[in-house]
Amino acid sequence: MTAQLLTADFVQEQVAAVPGAVQAVIETHDLTKVYQMGDTEVRALNGVSVQINKGEFVAIVGPSGSGKSTLMAILGALDKPTRGSYRLDGTEIGEMSDDSLSDIRNYRIGFVFQKFNLLARSTTLANVALPLVYAGIGAKERDQRARRTLEMVGLGERIHHRPNELSGGQQQRVAIARALINNPSIILADEPTGNLDSRTGEEIMRLFRQLHTEQGITLILVTHSPEIAAQADRMITMRDGEVVDEAHA
């Protein structure tokens, strides 16, 4: 271990010892992801070390192919790094059982994608209630909670619509409600406004900001839009699989 590393660990311990102090909810060290494509290696992440604090709103920006989605998939425990460490709330993800990992995906972290990934044949209500089916919650409670969450995102009047009967912004709000249904403390959003016009995108951003400020959700959001990135507490810039800048607002 290098002296610099010891110092970082020491500081983290001191911070964690102070009640109410800022704490890292996500901490990665030297994350590397290599894809083997025949005889060529694609290095999607090349030594990413980031720390994200509880309740922080972080934007991740960078050119296409710089590794943003790869990093998000690892942070969301949807994918594993080739090398490096990822601690979520102090626990090393690489050492967790499959059950613990699926608990993290179901309860701790909510995902929102650019393509809304809704079930086309299912109603708004059924789409939002789906994670509760996996959680083994009964039909009546599923319905109640899905309704409540849909009301929160302003879609209380659209519960029986199917995705193709909704606008793009409404479909994304359904996806956000689905991500919120199990009360996650972290939301990972990969270009959530990428398929929306700028006005609808701003409406979705208002909803995210509200979740962040009113519910203290830790929000990590990938975007190509400088205007959206400027709303974050911090902007992490990636290039060629590396973090090249971490500007605070």
Ligand X SMILES: Nc1ncnc2c1ncn2[C@@H]1O[C@H](COP(=O)(O)OP(=O)(O)OP(=O)(O)O)[C@@H](O)[C@H]1O
- Applying CB under 5 A, the residues found at the interface with Mg ion are 68-69
The footprint of ligand X on residues 51-80 (CB under 6 A) is 62, 64-70
Residues of the chain by 3-state class (helix, strand, coil), percent to 5: 40, 25, 35
CB of 33 to ligand X, least distance (A): 8
> Quick one: what does residue 169 bind among Mg ion, ligand X, none, with the CB cut-off 5 to 8 Å set by partner type?
none
∠33-38-42 over CA atoms, to 5°? 30
Among candidate residues 189, 186, 176, the one with its CA nearest the CA of residue 221: 189
Measured from the CB atom, the residue of 65 and 154 that comes closer to Mg ion is: 65
- Closest by Cα among 79, 82, 80, 91 to 26: 91
Indicate the residue among 153 and 222 with the shorter CB distance to ligand X.
222
CB-nearer residue toward ligand X: 2 or 64: 64
CA distances from 158 to 78, 141, 200 (A): 30, 19, 17
Residue number closest to Mg ion, CB atom: 69
Min. distance of Cβ 181 from ligand X in angstroms? 26
Token pair recorded at residue 153:
């995102």
CB distance 224 to 61 below 8 Å: yes
Residue 196 CB, nearest approach to Mg ion (Å): 16
Tokens at residue 164, please? 């193709």
Rounded to a whole number of angstroms, the minimum distance from the CB of residue 67 to Mg ion is 9
Of these, 25, 44, 174, 211, which contacts ligand X (CB under 6 A)? 44
Separation between Cα atoms, residue 131 and residue 122, nearest integer Å: 13
Q: Which residues inside 139-168 make contact with ligand X, applying CB under 6 A? A: none
Look-up of token digits 């607002």: 249
Helical axes 139-152 vs 124-134, angle rounded to 10° = 130
Q: Which does 42 bind (CB under 5 to 8 A by kind): Mg ion, ligand X, none?
A: ligand X
Please say which residue, 23 or 82, places its beta carbon nearer to ligand X: 82
Minimum CB distance to ligand X, residue 147 (Å): 34
| Shorter beta-carbon distance to ligand X: residue 37 or 120 | 37
Question: Given the rule CB under 6 A, which residues bind ligand X?
Answer: 35, 37, 42, 44, 62, 64-70
